[in-house]
Amino acid sequence: MSEKKRILTGDRTTGKLHLGHYVGSLQNRVKLQDEYESFILLADIQALTTHFEHPELLEHSIYEVAMDNLSVGLDPNKITLVQQSRIPSIGELTVFYSMLVSVNSLRHNPTIKTEAANYGYNDMTYGFLGYPVSQSADITFCKANLVPVGEDQKPHMEMTRKIVRRFNELYGETLVEPDMMLSDCPRLMGLDGNAKMGKSLGNAIYLSDPAEEVRKKVMSAVTDASRIKKDDPGHPDICVVSKYHKVFNGGEYENICESCKKGAIGCVACKKALAASLNDLLEPFREKRAYYEAHRDEVRDIILTGSEKANKIGNETVKEVKEAMHIYIGD
């Protein structure tokens, strides 16, 4: 058995991943893939909680999200890609854990509340309300030690840790309490000035966007509205483009802010520089992606093999969990 500690993290398969996913989690996955035994979950059941009326989108998205992960530099020989719906033990654990979770604690989960409001749900389905329980099963089926995720996942991590503690307290030390790893990069704002970059907000730069598309999206960003002429002094502290420079063009950030404040660099030049940095980052991803696009069978094999490996581990965990709960009477 591997001596390494385990990571489990993942994404809903509701569409392509964007730069916000990259700085929030994917970047950390790549950094940690040597140090940890990493499981990356293609969360297709969780995708159903919001997209059950759009099944046509799901199969395609499983491949898109798999390729997004592989194209940013996750090595299929190191990491394990797992398709959630292929892992029955996740479903089983979800049912067992559901005994330990109160409906009120789910109703008060801030991420559930925000998402329900965004989707306009006034009568949530049981599946949607309960997805944090299923997410706890995602994390614990392989006894993950660490979960690299964005800030919005914090309530789900707290719930997972609480379930694990409660389970171990009731039935004996069985599950592993995972730690959350937040990115040191602040949440990416939308280039349209929205507080968040998001697919549903229509302001996302996708990891798979062609260079020209990235340029177009950057050029349409909102900047300092009080700056009319190019040599008017700018206010980088209130400009979203400057925030992006800080994240994606760190070496030039101070210079650009100084030039902007003096009116020495205009918004167009500033945006062009940002688009160039983003495209420098994305170009190697595009190359890898082109390979996988042309070898979809290979992507499929990676998912199937990874899921099989995960299944063995998950089945072991379910056996231990059943034993602990005194409902296992043998094979």
CB of 85 to ligand TRP, least distance (A): 12
Q: Cβ closer to ligand TRP: 36 or 266?
A: 36
Does 42 interact with ligand TRP (rule: CB under 6 A)? no
Instruction: Give the distance from CA 166 to its chain's centroid.
Output: 27
Position closest to ligand TRP via CB: 43
Does 68 interact with ligand TRP (rule: CB under 6 A)? no
- ∠ CA 198-202-204 to the nearest 5 degrees? 50
For residue 12, the SS3 value is: strand
Q: What residue has token string 């602040």?
A: 186
CB of 10 to ligand TRP, least distance (A): 4
Q: Longest C-alpha distance within the chain, in Å?
A: 78
Inter-residue contact 30 to 73 (CB < 8 Å): yes
Pick one of 7, 23, 40, 41: the residue that binds ligand TRP (CB under 6 A).
41
Q: Cβ closer to ligand TRP: 76 or 155?
A: 155
- Mark residues 141-170: x for contact with ligand TRP by CB under 6 A, - for none: ------x-x---x-----------------
Does 46 interact with ligand TRP (rule: CB under 6 A)? yes
Q: Cβ closer to ligand TRP: 12 or 289?
A: 12
In our burial notation (b when 16+ CB lie closer than 10 A, e otherwise), range 175-193 reads bbbbebbbbebeebbbbee
Q: Which residues pair with 81 in a beta bridge?
A: 40
Q: What does the alpha-carbon distance between residue 302 and residue 297 come to, in Å, rounded to a whole number?
A: 9
Pick one of 135, 140, 249, 317: the residue that binds ligand TRP (CB under 6 A).
135
CA distances from 208 to 4, 183, 262, 295, 311 (A): 32, 21, 36, 16, 30
Pick one of 6, 7, 11, 15: the residue that binds ligand TRP (CB under 6 A).
11
Binding site for ligand TRP (CB under 6 A): 8-12, 41, 43, 46, 135, 138-139, 147, 149, 153
